[in-house]
Structure 1
Amino acid sequence: MTKVVDDEFWRQLWVNDQIGFHESEVHPTLKKYIAELTAGQEKCRIFVPLCGKSEDMKWLADQGHTVVGAELSALAIQDFFKENKVEFTSSPMEGVSDADLYKSKDDSIHLYKANIFDLKRDMIGEFDCIWDRASLDALLREDIQKYADHMRSLLKPKGRCLLETVEFDQSKANGPPFSTPANVVEKLYAEGWEIKPLQVTDGMNDQWRSRGVDNVTGKTTLLTKK
């Protein structure tokens, strides 16, 4: 039976606690390249697409940045605030059906429960930076050009995106996550971006082995909006 990867698919992963993609620590790539992402600037406005309950968001806020995330699962968002002991409020989002805004009491973290494509620049503002940890890998391949263009629409001129992707033999494991080779990244971001590869890492772990994959390459790319 073909797996249907839609909004409800992702919500059910959280309900069923099938969240092997969640990392309980701040991502080392983010720590390593935070200066490149922010261009050394303080108090940036940073967007985290498909954010889940990522520990990266609390870490970024603790560095003095304002963090805005997009996530389909209300459970993931609520878990983020509760597990980090951050007081928050929530309210329905105007102009978007079945969408809510969760805000930390200190206003440093705003998380939108919504489909990311419904979040337009005139609703959520523009950003200095985007931290994309495997969000591109999670999307259906027919949606990735739309996604890349959407991310560009949310960035300020000269804004930066730190992109973390994986590459593997897609024939050995169905997505998501999907393999995103370097040539795909180059094609997606060919128009209106400066592309700078930063690092290549060995992405193998037990989760990949259990899926029958024997070689995974992690790639980090810095994208700058022209």
Structure 2
Amino acid sequence: MVTKTSGQQQSGFPVLLRPLSPDKVIILAFIPFPSCNDLLVTNLRLCSTLLHSLRHVGQTFKRTVVPTEVEAKQTQPSIMLAPQANRVMAVGEWEERWDDGRTGFHQPQVHKMLELNIDKVLAGRPGVRFFFPLCGKAVDMKWLADRGHSVVGVEISEKAIKQFFEENNLAYSEEPVPSIPGAKVYKSSEKNICLYQCDLYKFSSSIEGQFGAIWDRGSLVAINPRDREKYAALLTSLMAQDCRYLLDTLLYNPDLYPGPPFLVPDEQVHSLFGPSCDVELLQSVDAMTERHRSWNIDYLTENVFLVTLKKV
């Protein structure tokens, strides 16, 4: 390994590394070893490959390094959230995205994290009532209904709701919601699926009761960051005592992308739900795709949590 220090070229084996991103590091210290450059470079590449592999299978390793700026921010959520703290998406902007077809967040197949964790969510229970906040036209809803579960969703876009029923060849009825002025509920004639077209914060347990499960993918990460405490209070109020809430969040450098979807640090998940719920991290995976690279971010981590009410 060859480095430059104070204008002089030096070589040696790196012993103190500082990560700039999940895939880049700088050398802070090394042991001089000028006679074996080729061998050392080869060994360094092997070490890099090994560490990369360990990261992707979820293993961890101990290290003594100077924390990066991103790592330091992750220990102080308020600092990490600062770049997006005042970011606001009006309800009308989401409706415009659906009207214009700017829905890159929609997935045409069942989400892999729901499939992977469905047994943990069901916990052996048949006929579970699922709640989908900001449901869009998620195909996950029909997938669950086909397996004997019932689904209630809330979505602001009428177009998204109608597309869900039409694209899944499901007949439906439409009726007003007396307790929410201007709201409508769309009910499948064949499956146990009810989708409410309304402001999420106007929905409550007085309308549909509480639920045995919640699938939150693209909801907490989509709401305005300043509304998260209100959102967490609503979701908690919709949880039955045996509810199992599957929560999908994203981590990236908020200095590089303004959102949405917005960054949700692990520490904030615990601060939002921890007072009344047990929070368990189920998965943490590299979620970077070509679409995400267009956001000019250097990494994207997807975390999946299981949130359950604490025993009374």
Residue 12 of structure 1 pairs with residue 12 of structure 2: no
Task: Name the residue aligned to 1:87.
Answer: 171
TM-score of the pair, normalised by structure 1 = 0.97
Q: Which runs of 5+ in 1 are unaligned?
A: none
Q: Kindly, what percent of the aligned residue pairs are identical?
A: 37
Letter of the 1:112 counterpart: Y
Between Structure 1 and Structure 2, how many residues are aligned?
Answer: 225
Task: Name the residue aligned to 2:224.
Answer: 140
Letter of the 2:295 counterpart: R
Higher relative contact order, chain-length normalized (CA < 8 Å, sep 6+): 1
- Return the alpha-carbon distance in structure 2 between the equivalents of residues 77 and 201 of structure 1: 30
Residue 116 of structure 1 pairs with residue 234 of structure 2: no
Q: Which runs of 5+ in 2 are unaligned?
A: 1-85
For the 8 Å contact 1:134–1:163, the answer to whether it is kept is: no
2:134 counterpart (32, 35, 50):
50
For the 8 Å contact 2:135–2:155, the answer to whether it is kept is: yes
Task: Name the residue aligned to 1:97.
Answer: 181
CA offset digits 1:102-138 (Å, max 9, x no partner): 0000350000001111011011211001000121100
How far is 1:184 from its partner?
1.0
2:155 counterpart (71, 78, 91):
71
Residue 62 of structure 1 pairs with residue 140 of structure 2: no
Letter of the 2:269 counterpart: V
- Return the alpha-carbon distance in structure 1 between the equivalents of residues 202 and 154 of structure 2: 10
TM-score of the pair, normalised by structure 2 = 0.70
2:285 counterpart (171, 194, 201):
201
Task: Name the residue aligned to 1:30.
Answer: 114
RMSD: 1.2
Q: Give SS of 2:106's match.
A: coil
For the 8 Å contact 1:71–1:77, the answer to whether it is kept is: yes
Task: Name the residue aligned to 1:127.
Answer: 211
Whose Rg is larger? 2
